[in-house]
Amino acid sequence: MQFAAASYFDGVTPFYGTTTVPPLGFMGGIEKKIYDFMVGKTPGSEHFFYQGKRLFEPSGRLAGCYKELCIWLDGKLPHNPYSVIYYMNDVWFVSLTDKYMDLISSDAGVRFYLDCYLKLIARYPCGDLKSQRQKYCDELRGLLNSGMLLEPMKTMWLEAKIYSGPIDLNAYMKDDPYFLGVAD
């Protein structure tokens, strides 16, 4: 599942430290089917367990993926179109526990990329982006607006909804600016 979520299976970007370009999608486009089976969403798969647990428990696994999610939502850079991280909204929302809030509070990198991600979700759509992204953002906005969010997520989401300035994905690393949500 880690490979099925990896951004570098975009058919363009070499594996880190090599010149080898992996194929588009780790599982040839069936990543969502495999993910749905492993988390019990496929009819009949809800009965499959290993050592008393679901085959895959993805809660809390998006902390390192916010940058990749921003790139996918922006739609201008190469990305793995089949990554399972595009199907994890409900699992991610349930994982917003006190422990996850501690991670957001203590890790400046996670907080920065989460902030970019939330701002992009709040203002989507931007430009001519595909319906899969629109559905993703609509679902996520519904989840974020419907429930009780813990701090600091509650404040971050409220600020993201009113923010109208530029979103520079590269500001944290102090690289050349890469502004999200603007047409080329």
- Tens digits of per-residue pLDDT, 102-111? 999 999 999 9
pLDDT of residue 50: 85
- Tell me the three state secondary structure of residue 57: coil
- The closest alpha carbon to 173, from 115, 109, 119, 103, belongs to 109
How many angstroms separate the CA atoms of 181 and 184, rounded? 9
What is the distance between the alpha carbons of residues 160 and 11, in angstroms, rounded to a whole number? 32
Task: Count Cβ atoms below 10 Å from residue 161 Cβ, excluding itself.
Answer: 15
Long-range pairs, 158-162, Cβ under 8 A, ≥24: 160/115, 160/118, 160/119, 160/121, 160/122, 161/122
Closest CA to 100 of 138, 54, 156, 38: 156
C-alpha separations of 13 from 17, 66, 78 in Å? 11, 18, 8
Q: Residue 145's pLDDT is what?
A: 94
Place of tokens 């990305």: 79
Q: How far is CA 106 from the centre of its chain?
A: 20
> Which residues are registered as beta bridge partners of 179?
168
pLDDT at 136 over 60: yes
Mean of pLDDT values over 68-83: 87
CB 9 within 8 A of CB 26: yes
Out of 12-26, 96-110, 136-150, which region has the weakest mean confidence (pLDDT)?
Answer: 12-26
164-174: average pLDDT: 94
- For the chain, the distance separating the N- and C-terminal CA atoms, rounded to the nearest angstrom, is 33
Sequence spans of domains, the chain: 2-180
